[in-house]
Structure 1
Amino acid sequence: MEAPPLERKLVAILAADVEGYSRLMHRDEEAALATLSSHRSIIDAIIVQGRGEISGTAGDSVLAEFASVVDAVHCAVSIQQALTKANASLPPDRRMMLRIGINVGDVMVKDDGIFGDGVNVAARLEAMAQPGSISVTRGVRDHLRDRMDYEFEDLGEHTVKNIARPVRVFRVKFDPNATSPLPVSEPADAKSSIQLTGMDAVSEGRGADPVELEFWKSVESSGDHAEYRAYLEQYPDGDFTALAKARLAKPTAAKPDMTVDRKVELEFWTSIKDGDVAASFAAYLDKYPEGEFKALAEIRLAELSGLQNERENK
């Protein structure tokens, strides 16, 4: 029997990864994983709130698709601005800078993942981007003319591996210290029409199984190697596999350092407390449900949700 034809669709593709992640991991695995976890909570929540869909993750990289090119670029800018604030509260050797590439093209769909030249070009653009910046193709730039206020710097044509024709690359110019609220208009397609609350957005964006999440929360601070092994047996490809293996690599299961844990929480809170992205506060509450700043986060989340509802009802 012939295999059924692959589904194809036209989407905006966002590819991102952390610059120098291997170097950071080599220097301090625990610190690097803690920072990555905090950053990913912010990134994933913004993608989902920005009407995107995460198509793949591997270590420090993220691949997402959008039905709208405008949404993809707006989301990318919001991510870079949110991470600028998150990094500002971290020591210089703990900061993680993201590189983002965006392309619009035809992709193949298989097992909920996307493949093809469109994805490859986005990945090559991400590799060309400077830390903290966003690179896009000419097709993306042309589509955004008169639709958004961003300016673009022409970086010229580049030969891209395994792509026949040179690709014209542009850098999106934006203020990294500003804040760009995500749009609150209706979703671009029916698939995105279900309105997620902040907490739902975080769990949907990360794709974590709630049972797995509760399992990890119950063992992450125990310092017990047997509990980490039990987690890995139950979830060999889980969201916290890398962190569990890092804990097991320690020669002894020392008691958890609550001072370090509080420091990570404080860094997370400091990075979002002055922002106006509801998903960031939802991410904090999801990560620290009994955290020191729980009440403040709940108040701020309610305020931002109320403002969003007011704008939607106008």
Structure 2
Amino acid sequence: MANGRVERRLAVIMATDIVGYSRLTEADETRTLDTMKRLQTSILAPGITACGGRIVKLMGDGTLVVFNSAVDAVDCAISLQEALACDQQEQPTDDRILVRIGINLADVVIEGDDLLGDGVNVAARLQASATPGGICIADVVHRQLGAKGRSAFLDGGEIALKNITRPIHVWHWTDAPTIGPSMSQACARTSIAVLPFENLSNAPDQTFFSDGITEDIIGGLARFRALSVTAASSSFSFRGEHADIKEIGRKLGVTYLVDGSVRRAGERMRITARLIEVASGTHLWSEHYDRRLTDIFAIQDDVTRMIVSTLVGQIESADLRQALRKPPKSLAAYEFYLRGLAHIRGYEPDDNRQAHAMFQAAVDRDPQFALAHAYLALAIIAEQGYGNAPSDVLDAALAIARKAVSLDEAESGCQRMLAIIQFYRREFELAERHYRRAYLLNPNDANTLVQMGGLLARRGKLDEAMEWINEGFRLNPFPPPWYSATLGNALYILGRYEEAAAALKELPNPGPFTLARLVACHAQSANAASVEETKARLLQVCPDFSTEDFIRRGLLLERDEHRDLFRQGLLKAGLPA
């Protein structure tokens, strides 16, 4: 026996194999071998190591890996498949390197550096049963996963495996990429890892607090299902390492890294966080938070939510910039989706039409892309004037928004878009219900908070409305302009006219409905000069403006007295009835 060492223990075995290896090498042996070597060194080996796996042996086009944890093995397999899919998405379909992965949990014999036993053979057979680019796991592995992990797999029932006498109950990964022109499903999530925050306090026992901050940020980011967040077990393996940040990011296979520190001094706590783009090493954002230690866990919750919300906004902005640098003809579904976001948030005359086209392109390339469906519904009504869209357009948008929710009921963004469509259909009670669902799914999404506040203000629930809006602004200190429109509307209903005008002035390229609101604000606050200046702008863009038409078309308010409040302001300014 090699080295005289024999060990028997329970282990998780992962077997990988390249699909169609013989065909690929026959077509172009040099390119295939070079690609395999690159993928092994840049994705497979570092990804396995980062998840706590040990490569037992390389077998031509396959790999045998052992893990101590089923959770780590499955997390590793999913991250490898997603990274490989993204790496190969630009390759012609016939030239793509696709890998099958099988995972088993069994008693094995470790003989020297080798791994032996029936459990190893089962892992190899499970690998052969996986779909190209997919993962097949034994039921014993599936039972070790948490609820979220189990939900990522479909029941494959009991199957017969070659040379295995007993049937094996198997599960298949649900997000295996399809072989075709679009592999965007596996690449549709921006990848990010949060490194353990450094404890800079004098007391070593304060590490529990810095670790708690880190884990809460990971959990908060994971609620945004458009992000692929590395598990804590992987990112914490880099604790204390002083490797180059690019190297750590490469090993974890992520686009962005978050790191930070926690320092406690007397009765104060300072928490610092920063967001780093791995490829360039650029620091995209950094911030520090100073708090009194009145309630250490309340501080942890508060700061975590602020960091998470700001990080998501910064990541989204960086992704948008990257997508807009690429020529449209080369874009996959996710990048069309990002371009759509840029246009739907724009204020140029053609932005809504462009947004519609971008989201439609995303849906065409990936019919299962839930968020693309959700935003397509919004773009459809935006192009037709939101609440002024014809009833058939509002009906079509509602059907698309409902489909988005059916594709991913746990995506808070889909629930939020459905609420928006219902709001413009004047279904206020349903809209509020879905906003609350969106909040329960993701309390860190500042957009949901502000939009919910806007709805509550329009329903006359003013005190609660301002709580939601203020919390949204607090969580997102760099808000998009539409936040100001929502705030301005709520402040006007509250009778805080000067503050409402200040908020509405934040909007670029204001249209007639925004200008009408500004006129009403200035009239109610007796600012005669501003009334005349803004009224002139309004009548220039809308010469046939009438107060009653604005009340009917431009306001979505549940209470008559609030509509009267706007009517009073417009008539006081001397605008036509």
Instruction: Quickly say closer, same or farther: Cα 1:187–1:88, change in 2 above 3 A.
Output: closer
Aligned partner of 1:25 in structure 2 is 25
Bigger relative contact order, structure 1 or 2 (CA pairs below 8 A, ≥6 apart) = 1
Instruction: Quickly say closer, same or farther: Cα 1:96–1:298, change in 2 above 3 A.
Output: closer
Task: Tell me whether 1:13 sits opposite 2:23 in the alignment.
Answer: no
Task: Tell me whether 1:176 sits opposite 2:186 in the alignment.
Answer: yes
Instruction: Check whether the contact 1:186–1:193 (CA below 8 A) recurs between aligned residues.
Output: no
CA distance in 2, matches of 1:75, 1:196: 23
What displacement does 1:8 show?
A: 0.9
Instruction: Quickly say closer, same or farther: Cα 1:188–1:121, change in 2 above 3 A.
Output: farther
Instruction: Quickly say closer, same or farther: Cα 1:64–1:151, change in 2 above 3 A.
Output: same
Aligned partner of 1:157 in structure 2 is 158
Aligned partner of 2:565 in structure 1 is none
CA distance in 1, matches of 2:131, 2:163: 22
What displacement does 1:11 show?
A: 1.3
Instruction: Quickly say closer, same or farther: Cα 1:45–1:7, change in 2 above 3 A.
Output: same
Instruction: Check whether the contact 1:35–1:94 (CA below 8 A) recurs between aligned residues.
Output: no
Pairs within 5 Å for 1:1-314:
6-41=6-41, 42-146=43-147, 148=149, 150-174=151-175, 176-177=186-187, 178=189, 179=191, 180-185=228-233, 197=243, 275-276=255-256, 299-300=280-281
What displacement does 1:5 show?
A: 7.6
Cα-Cα RMSD: 3.6
CA distance in 2, matches of 1:161, 1:299: 48
Identify the structure with the greater helix proportion. 2
Instruction: Check whether the contact 1:136–1:170 (CA below 8 A) recurs between aligned residues.
Output: yes
Instruction: Quickly say closer, same or farther: Cα 1:164–1:97, change in 2 above 3 A.
Output: same
Superposed CA offset, 1:218-256 (max 9, x none)? xxxxxxxxxxxxxxxxxxxxxxxxxxxxxxxxxxxxxxx
What displacement does 1:112 show?
A: 1.4
What displacement does 1:37 show?
A: 1.6
CA distance in 2, matches of 1:188, 1:170: 28
Superposed CA offset, 1:157-203 (max 9, x none)? 122233331111110223522343432338999xx99969479889x
TM-score after normalising by structure 2 = 0.34
CA distance in 1, matches of 2:133, 2:121: 20
Task: Give structure 1 stretches of 5+ with no counterpart.
Answer: 205-271, 279-295, 307-313
Instruction: Quickly say closer, same or farther: Cα 1:170–1:161, change in 2 above 3 A.
Output: same
Task: Give structure 2 stretches of 5+ with no counterpart.
Answer: 176-184, 192-227, 259-276, 287-303, 305-577
CA distance in 2, matches of 1:125, 1:103: 8
CA distance in 2, matches of 1:160, 1:151: 23
CA distance in 2, matches of 1:24, 1:125: 22
Superposed CA offset, 1:241-290 (max 9, x none)? xxxxxxxxxxxxxxxxxxxxxxxxxxxxxxx8x83489xxxxxxxxxxxx
What displacement does 1:96 show?
A: 0.5
Instruction: Quickly say closer, same or farther: Cα 1:114–1:186, change in 2 above 3 A.
Output: same
CA distance in 1, matches of 2:5, 2:89: 48
Instruction: Quickly say closer, same or farther: Cα 1:9–1:84, change in 2 above 3 A.
Output: same
Instruction: Check whether the contact 1:156–1:170 (CA below 8 A) recurs between aligned residues.
Output: yes
Instruction: Quickly say closer, same or farther: Cα 1:28–1:130, change in 2 above 3 A.
Output: same
Which has more radius of gyration?
2
TM-score after normalising by structure 1 = 0.59
SS at match of 1:176: helix
- AA in 2 matched with 1:95: R
Instruction: Check whether the contact 1:48–1:201 (CA below 8 A) recurs between aligned residues.
Output: no
CA distance in 2, matches of 1:78, 1:151: 13
Instruction: Check whether the contact 1:15–1:62 (CA below 8 A) recurs between aligned residues.
Output: yes
Instruction: Check whether the contact 2:16–2:64 (CA below 8 A) recurs between aligned residues.
Output: yes
CA distance in 2, matches of 1:37, 1:119: 24
What displacement does 1:149 show?
A: 5.9
CA distance in 2, matches of 1:64, 1:194: 26
- AA in 2 matched with 1:185: S
Instruction: Check whether the contact 1:51–1:187 (CA below 8 A) recurs between aligned residues.
Output: no
CA distance in 2, matches of 1:277, 1:106: 37
CA distance in 1, matches of 2:143, 2:283: 37
CA distance in 1, matches of 2:242, 2:75: 19
- AA in 2 matched with 1:275: T
CA distance in 2, matches of 1:128, 1:4: 35
- AA in 1 matched with 2:232: V
SS at match of 2:144: helix
- AA in 2 matched with 1:10: L
- AA in 2 matched with 1:93: D
